[in-house]
Amino acid sequence: MSASLEKPYGSWESPITADLTASATVSLGQIALNGKIIYWTETRPHEGGRCVIVCQTEDGKIKDINPAPYSAKSRVHEYGGGAFLATADSVFFSNFEDQRIYRQKLEADPKPITPEGNYRYADAVFDQQRNRLICVREDHSQKGAEAINTLVAISLEDQGSISVLASGADFYASPRLSPDGNALAWLSWNHPNMPWDGTELWLAQVDKAGNLAQEQSVAGSREESIFQPEWSPGGVLYFISDRNGWWNLYRWYQGSVAAVIQMEAEFGLPQWIFGQSTYAFTAADRIICTYSSHGISHLAVIDPASCSLKEIKTPYIAMSALRANSEQVVFIAASPTEFSAIVQLDLATEGLKVLQRSSEMTLDPGYLSIAQALEFPVADGVSAYGFFYPPKNKDFSAPAEDERPPLLVISHGGPTGAAHNALELKIQYWTSRGIAVLDVNYRGSSHYGRAYRQQLKGQWGIVDVDDCISGALYLVQQGGADPKRLAIRGSSAGGFTTLAALTFRGVFKAGASYYGVSDLEALAKETHKFESRYLDWLIGPYPAQADLYIARSPIHAVDKLSCPTIFFQGLEDKVVPPDQAKAMVNALRKKKLPVACIFFEDEQHGFCKAENISRALTAELYFYAQVFGFSLADEVEPIVIENL
Q: What is the pLDDT of residues 455-490, one digit of tens each?
A: 999 999 999 999 999 999 999 999 999 999 999 999
Same domain, 387 and 448: yes
- Average pLDDT over the chain reads 95
| 46 burial type by CB count under 10 A (0-12 exposed, 13-18 middle, 19+ buried) | middle
pLDDT value for 548: 97
> Does residue 524 fall inside a structural domain?
no
Q: pLDDT for 397-444, tens place per residue? A: 988 888 999 999 999 998 999 999 999 999 999 999 999 999 999 999
Q: pLDDT for 586-617, tens place per residue? A: 989 999 999 999 999 989 888 888 899 999 99
Same domain, 346 and 436: no
Question: What is the spatial distance between Cα 617 and Cα 203, in angstroms, rounded to a whole number?
Answer: 48
The pLDDT of residue 242 is above 50: yes
* 275 neighbors 72 (Cβ within 8 angstroms): no
For 551-559, what is the mean pLDDT?
93
pLDDT > 90: percent of the chain: 87
Cα–Cα distance list, 290 to 238, 300, 320, 321, 440 (Å)? 15, 6, 7, 9, 22
Final residue belonging to a domain, choices 323, 342, 362: 362
CA 199 remoteness from chain centre: 19
> Does residue 390 fall inside a structural domain?
yes
For 257-268, what is the mean pLDDT?
97
pLDDT value for 214: 97
Q: pLDDT for 142-182, tens place per residue? A: 998 999 999 999 999 988 899 999 999 999 999 999 999 99
Same domain, 453 and 491: yes
Other CB atoms within 10 Å distance of the CB of residue 209: 8
Same domain, 299 and 341: yes
> Does residue 492 fall inside a structural domain?
yes
Same domain, 492 and 587: yes
Same domain, 347 and 402: no
Final residue belonging to a domain, choices 339, 362, 385: 362
> Does residue 385 fall inside a structural domain?
yes
Task: With cut-offs at 50, 70 and 90, classify the pLDDT of residue 1.
Answer: very low
Provide the 3-class DSSP secondary structure of residue 515.
Answer: coil
The pLDDT of residue 2 is above 60: no
pTM: 0.93
Final residue belonging to a domain, choices 331, 362, 393: 362
Other CB atoms within 10 Å distance of the CB of residue 62: 13
> Does residue 439 fall inside a structural domain?
yes
Pick from 26, 56, 24, 61: nearest CA to 42: 26
> Does residue 289 fall inside a structural domain?
yes
pLDDT value for 3: 67
pLDDT value for 608: 82
Specify the range with the lowest mean pLDDT, choosing from 280-289, 357-366, 388-397, 502-511: 357-366
Question: Per the structure, how many domains does the chain have?
Answer: 2
Host domain of residue 289: 280-362
Residues sharing a CB contact under 8 Å with residue 276, sequence separation 6 or more, in sequence order = 81, 227, 228, 269, 320, 321
Other CB atoms within 10 Å distance of the CB of residue 355: 15
CATH of the domain at 432: 3.40.50.1820
> Does residue 216 fall inside a structural domain?
no
Q: pLDDT for 193-236, tens place per residue? A: 999 999 999 999 999 999 999 999 999 999 999 999 999 999 99
Instruction: Write the DSSP assignment of 41-56 as a string of letters.
Output: EEEEGGGTTEEEEEEE
Same domain, 468 and 385: yes
Question: What is the spatial distance between Cα 292 and Cα 305, in angstroms, rounded to a whole number?
Answer: 23
Same domain, 394 and 501: yes
Same domain, 396 and 491: yes
> Does residue 493 fall inside a structural domain?
yes
The pLDDT of residue 12 is above 70: yes
Same domain, 335 and 380: no
pLDDT value for 369: 98
Same domain, 390 and 440: yes
Same domain, 387 and 342: no
